[in-house]
Amino acid sequence: MAREFPLEKLRNFGIVAHVDAGKTTTSERVLFYTGMSHKIGEVHDGETVTDWMDQERERGITITAAAISCQWTPSLNPDRISKEHKYNFNIIDTPGHIDFTAEVKRSMRVLDGAIVVFDGVAGVEPQSETNWRYADEAGVPRICFINKMDRTGADFERSYASILKRLSPKAVRFQLPWGKEDQLKGVIDLLKMKAYTFEGDMGMNVIEQEIPEEYKADAEKYHAELVERIVENDDEQMTAYLDGVIPSYEELQKTLRKAVINNAIFPVMTGSALKNVGVQLILDAVVDYLPAPTDLPPVKGTNPKTGEEETRSASDDEPFCALAFKLQTDPFVGALTFFRVYSGVVKSGSYILNANTGEKERLGRIVRLQADKRTEIEAVYAGEIAAGVGLKDVKTSHSLCEEGKPLMLEQIVFPEPVVALRIEPKTKNDQEKMGMALKKLSDEDPTLRISTDDETLETIIAGMGELHLEIIVDRMKREFGVEANVGKPQVAYRETIQREAESEYKYIKQTGGRGQYGHVKIRIKPMEPLAEGEEVKKNVTREDHFEFIDSIKGGVIPNEFIPAVMKGVKEAMARGMVAGYKMEDVSVELYDGSFHDVDSSEIAFKLAAINAFKDGAKRAGAVILEPVMKIEITTPEQFMGDINGNLASKRGMVEGMDDRDMVKVIRAKVPLSELFGYTTTLRSMTEGRANMVMEFDHYAVVPPNIAEDIKKARGFVPKEIED
């Protein structure tokens, strides 16, 4: 079976946005125009293709990223039937709600481009900023789409200004809306200098026409601005432009494509997905400006055998290499592993190597996805996205390779959970089922953490927010038939240190026979991030939120005991020093110590390290950290005073206020512990007219009086560790 589409005609892109900006509506239009569905599903009717889970249709939000494959022929191509003009799209519709942010993060890692959708009334919202940051981290080229221009209060210029101010000054107008609110007729293309309307069944026919007289002056002005921004990216064109020579449309398009792929320009388009205005032109822009796998540099990874860096180009002739970016439990076929192939070809039934575990696995079947529908295929080629059936031990972010040619790609780092709750099965019968359900759900969702309270032996689940955990409990009931009693949500506090300190501990135990002897001297300090381009030194082990430096000289502690010291330090950090919460962002240097030829053992050094760390952490000013959320409240002006006063009582810091039409927008940072149930308080304070969105921002030190309350509530007493 040969490749159906050449690599140059493949586009892997995602649709990302803040909750309710219209991503799923845009995706449904894309499916309709590409011939994937014969009827447009609407979010408000609960009939969408990409939101296929029951919880998604009930709540009208996207929870899980849906993958869709479809074909597109550029809308203004007169020869639209011919196969040689078709392009193959792999699209991922991602969630907008902050609680499901991991879906966006993992999708960004495997996509080559993104369409970022904005609400024409609200402009840039908090989750838009987070999604933009994830795209920046992954270096993903973007096209902006200011949607909902048919809504009352929609304002293209204001939304465009918010993109420039809050996201990137590299954004530039690529289109203007023709008409506004209920008078929206179409869009004006500022590069081609033509106007477009969308007629026929569901706006299927794109009609090109001259720009209406009343828009000509603005169009000329912004066309000149756009051309200037494009030619800045090409020295030859820039020189010619300064000499008064305007490059042709084709030349400008070529330069713009390069600039978009290099993240030097973010074109801003507009329209209304719900009213079928502008969606086909976005698909044309995906073809024209977003990269094919061949436009991107080769993917880098580490050979687990040699530790050397290696690369793989997007080619079917290279060795097979893919990244598993998502697991999903399917009621019909079992566990599905979504993967993106970076190089080579893999066939169903073949054996592949998991570079992270070193284990061989058989890829039983391969399926292509249309959200919740499956089409079985024989092979997947470089650049494509598909799902495998039958992979047992593959986890999110594992690298899959050809046997004998291993390559470990960079892992996806997920945000830490901020809310936890206790959960227990209602019956003995549910006990085992709950364990299995939670294991499957945590395999699917890397931001869901399962742990057990050492003292009460209760199960604790931690996630990104109240809604996230509510959905997990709901899925346990619906998909796995597990009934559970659930405690109140609790904040996921952390601990850290504030200054440098040294500590020494000798662990000596004499019994009748052989004794125990371990002696360590450590230096602990707050962990510093690596400078740009800085390499990790050979004697340093660096993990998320932890660094261990081995400065032992002359064998004062034998090499075989040093891993035990690191293990002891990590165990002490996991137990916490102030209130029993996990300690983070600590750098520990082992610089001296001693050993006994007969009595020294790994366990002795581990216990010496635990006790040395406990002592050092006290001296280093151990404190509790709490998650602080970034919130945005939209409210009528008359309630501003009440809201600001209320935020101050919740230890909130107001960072700014903006006008948005007839309402005010308050931006603030507030500790999460003060925000449980805040939406209800806000509604009762404002006659139900204000609303709030929030997302995690950072961890901050808890004030001493609050820290005392937390310690009392936990009843935490640090114990001397003896054995």
DSSP letters, 417-464, are P-EEEEEEESSHHHHHHHHHHHHHHHHH-TT-EEEE-TTT--EEEEES
Sequence-separated (6 or more) residues with CB below 8 Å from residue 357:
393, 398
Which among 621, 644, 677 is the end of a domain? 621
Higher pLDDT: 49 or 125? It is 125
Q: Which of 435, 465, 492 is the last residue of a domain?
A: 492
Residue 152: partners with Cβ closer than 8 Å, 6 or more residues away? 121, 181, 182
Q: Based on the domain organization, do 268 and 372 belong to the same domain?
A: no
pLDDT in tens, 677-703: 787 788 788 877 777 777 788 899 999
Overall average pLDDT of the 64-69 stretch: 61
Q: Are 649 and 681 in contact (CB under 8 A)?
A: no
Helix (H) or strand (E) holding 91: strand 87-93
Greater confidence (715 vs 450) lies with 450
DSSP β-bridge partners for residue 116: 16, 144
Predicted confidence band of residue 286 (pLDDT cuts 50, 70, 90): very high
Q: How many C-beta neighbours within 10 Å does residue 166 have?
A: 14
Look at residue 719 in the predicted model and tell me its pLDDT.
Answer: 55
DSSP 99: G
CATH of the domain at 424: 3.30.70.870
The residue behind tokens 């294991």 is 439
Work out the angle at residue 175's Cα, subtended by the Cα atoms of residues 169 and 180, and round it to the nearest 5 degrees: 110
Element (H, E) at 389: strand 385-389
Residue 368 in this model has a pLDDT that exceeds 60 = yes
Q: Give domain status of residue 160, yes or no.
A: yes
Q: What average pLDDT does the segment 242-258 reach?
A: 91
- Identify whether 414 is part of a domain: no
pLDDT(667) > 80: yes
3-state per-residue secondary structure call for 624-680: EEEEEEEEEEEEEHHHHHHHHHHHHHCCCEEEEEEEECCEEEEEEEEEHHHCCCHHH
CA–CA dist 616, 594 (Å, integer) = 18
Report the pLDDT value the prediction gives residue 94, as an integer from 0 to 100. 66
Let me know whether 402 and 431 are in one domain: no
Most confident among 173-177, 442-446, 555-559 (mean pLDDT): 173-177
Q: Which of 169-173, 280-284, 551-555 bottoms out in mean pLDDT, i.e. has the lowest?
A: 551-555
Instruction: State the distance between the two ends of the chain, measured CA to CA, in whole angstroms.
Output: 62
- For 673, the domain range is 626-710
Q: Is the pLDDT of residue 82 over 70?
A: no
Residue 414: phi and psi, rounded to 5, are -100, 150
Q: Is residue 721 part of a domain?
A: no
Q: How far is CA 115 from CA 38, 93, 128, 144, 689, in A?
A: 23, 10, 12, 6, 31
Query: How many domains, in total, are found in the chain?
Result: 5
Rounded to 5 degrees, what are φ and ψ at 298? -60, 150
Any domain includes 718: no
Same domain, 44 and 58: yes
Question: Is the per-residue pLDDT at 79 higher than 90?
Answer: no
Phi, psi for residue 109 in degrees, rounded to 5: -65, -30
475: Cα separation from own chain's centroid: 21
Region 64-86 average pLDDT = 65
User: Alpha-carbon distance 398 to 325, whole Å?
Assistant: 8
Cβ contacts of residue 59 below 8 Å, gap of 6+?
A: none
What integer is the mean pLDDT of 221-235?
Answer: 93
Q: Closest Cα to residue 145, out of 284, 256, 42? A: 284
* 400 DSSP β-pair partners: 322, 354
**Per-residue confidence (pLDDT) for residue 221, from 0 to 100:** 94
**Predicted local confidence at residue 100, as pLDDT:** 57
pLDDT at 47: 44
pLDDT for residue 614 is more than 80: yes
Q: In this structure, is the dihedral angle defined by the CA atoms of residues 552, 557, 561 and 565, taken in order, positive or negative?
A: negative
pLDDT above 70: residue 445: yes
Question: Looking at the structure, do residues 30 and 43 belong to the same domain, yes or no?
Answer: yes
Write down the H helix ranges in 620-703: 640-649, 678-685
Q: How many residues does the chain have?
A: 723
Listing DSSP states for 274-324 in one string gives: TTTBSHHHHHHHHHHHSPPGGGSPPEEEE-TTT--EEEE-S-TTSPPEEEE
Looking at the domain assignment, is residue 81 inside a domain?
A: yes
More confident residue, 473 or 103: 473
142/37 same-domain check: yes
DSSP H helical ranges for 34-184: 54-59, 101-110, 126-138, 156-166
Residues 484 and 499 both lie in one domain: no
C-alpha distances (whole Å) from 584 to each of 454, 589, 720 are 20, 15, 21
Q: Which residue has the higher pLDDT, 125 or 170?
A: 170
Does residue 660 share a domain with residue 528?
no
| Residue 224 DSSP code | H
Inter-CA distances, 626 with 490, 495, 582, 702, 707, Å: 11, 8, 12, 6, 10
At residue 39, the pLDDT reads 45
Q: Could you tell me if 187 and 336 lie in one domain?
A: no
Residues 144 and 73 placed together within one structural domain of the fold? yes
**In terms of Cα–Cα distance, which of 521, 494, 523, 528 is closest to 505?**
521
- H helical segments located in 515-638: 562-575, 602-619
720 within domain boundaries: no
The predicted pLDDT at position 310 comes to 87
For residue 595, give the CATH number of its domain. Answer: 3.30.230.10
3-state helix, strand, coil in the chain (%, to 5): 30, 30, 35
Q: Which of 546, 704, 544 is nearest to 624 (CA)?
A: 704
Whether 446 and 529 map to the same domain: the answer is no
Does 268 map to a domain? yes
CA distances in angstroms from 124 to 119, 127, 527, listed in the order given: 8, 8, 33
Same domain membership, residue 218 and residue 89? yes
The pLDDT tens digits of the residues spanning 486-531 come to 888 888 889 999 999 999 999 888 776 678 899 999 999 999 887 7
pLDDT at 37: 54
| Pairing mode of beta strands 113-119, 142-147 | parallel
What residues are paired with 692 via a beta bridge?
Answer: 633
Residue 60 has pLDDT above 60, yes or no: no
125 and 197, same domain (yes or no)? yes
Note the pLDDT of residue 226: 94
Query: Residue 93: what pLDDT?
Result: 64
The type of residue at 52 is W
Question: Per-residue pLDDT tens for 618-642?
Answer: 999 999 999 898 888 888 888 888 8
**What average pLDDT does the segment 163-174 reach?**
92
Instruction: Using the predicted structure, report yes or no on whether residue 535 has a pLDDT greater than 50.
Output: yes
CA separation for the pair 612, 653 (Å, rounded): 38
Of 273, 295, 317, the domain-final residue? 295
Question: Could you tell me which of 322, 347, 348, 324 has the C-alpha nearest to residue 337?
Answer: 324
DSSP helix/strand/coil, 540: strand
Strands 459-463 and 586-594: unpaired
How far are the Cα atoms of 132, 161, 654, 675 from residue 631, in angstroms, in the given order? 17, 21, 9, 10
CATH number of the domain at 170, please: 3.40.50.300
Q: What is the DSSP letter of 408?
A: E
CA angle 191, 163, 174 (to 5 degrees): 5
Strand order in the sheet with 186-189: 175-178, 186-189, 194-199, 205-209
- Specify the 3-state DSSP secondary structure of 242: helix
Is residue 393 situated within a structural domain?
yes
Q: Which residue has the tokens 């309709």?
A: 32
* 379-421 pLDDT per residue, tens: 888 888 888 887 888 888 888 998 888 888 887 777 777 788 8
User: In 3-state terms, what secondary structure has residue 667?
Assistant: strand
Average pLDDT for 711-720: 69
Encoded amino acid at 157, one letter: E
For the stretch 569-608, pLDDT in tens is 999 998 888 888 889 999 999 999 998 888 888 899 999 9
